[in-house]
């Protein structure tokens, strides 16, 4: 549950007779509702009891698959999720989209986002999908200081796949198993 105190003025108590206070409060209410709807549309945030961030170098494959699995497997659990790239987003790899669709999870509309677009304090759990925890030093150290930080060290399918998507499928399945285990601990 999310509680927000909008602290709007009471128009009947303050309107000078020209309805200006009503109009102002109407416009303020509209802006607040828009903010609320935007927040509720995000797959993570204060509307969830726990929030998980999947990090990877580019947010193009492993973190996207883990993100898709968590959204798919969480059911009614109050667990929010996002994923991002440490060195900036690129694009979601076609191989990742294909093998996730084979498993019934559609990540084709996911975007490749940069870690700089998120705040560590919004997340209770941070997972490094690629063994990139060592890249989270200096100004990025806060990501490793969340209540739970794990480094899954999944192989990079684009770098090792022989062209038949077998590496993508193996990492997809490893990711699913790890997400199931994660859900058992955060729910």
pLDDT tens profile 72-91: 999 989 999 999 999 876 88
Active site residues: 56, 130
- What value does the mean pLDDT of the chain take? 93
DSSP line for the chain = ----------HHHH--SSSHHHHHHHHHHHHHHHHHHHHHHSSSSTTSSEEEEEEESSSSSHHHHHHHHHHHH-TT--EEEEEEETT------HHHHHHHHHTT---TT----BGGGS-GGG-SEEEESSSGGGG--GGGGGGGGSSEEEE-----HHHH--SSSHHHHHHHHHHHHHHHHHHHHH-
Calculate mean pLDDT across residues 132-154. Answer: 93
pLDDT tens profile 150-167: 999 999 999 999 999 999
pLDDT of 39 reads 67
Q: Is the pLDDT of residue 139 over 80?
A: yes
């Amino acid at each position: 549950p999310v509680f927000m105190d909008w602290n709007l003025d009471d128009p009947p108590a303050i309107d000078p007779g020209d309805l200006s206070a009503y109009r102002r409060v109407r416009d303020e209410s509209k802006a607040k509702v828009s903010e609320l709807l935007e927040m509720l549309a995000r797959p993570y945030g204060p509307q969830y009891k726990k929030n998980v961030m999947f990090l990877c170098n580019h947010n193009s494959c492993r973190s996207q698959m883990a993100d898709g699995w968590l959204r798919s497997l969480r059911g009614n659990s109050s667990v929010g999720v996002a994923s991002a790239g440490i060195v900036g987003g690129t694009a979601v790899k076609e191989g990742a989209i294909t093998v996730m669709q084979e498993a019934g999870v559609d990540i084709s509309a996911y975007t490749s986002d940069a870690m700089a677009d998120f705040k560590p304090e919004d997340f209770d759990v941070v997972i490094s999908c690629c063994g990139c925890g060592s890249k989270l030093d200096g100004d990025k150290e806060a990501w490793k200081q969340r209540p739970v930080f794990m480094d899954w060290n999944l192989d990079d399918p684009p770098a090792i796949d022989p062209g038949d998507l077998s590496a993508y499928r193996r990492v997809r399945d490893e990711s699913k198993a790890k997400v199931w285990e994660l859900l058992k601990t955060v729910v």
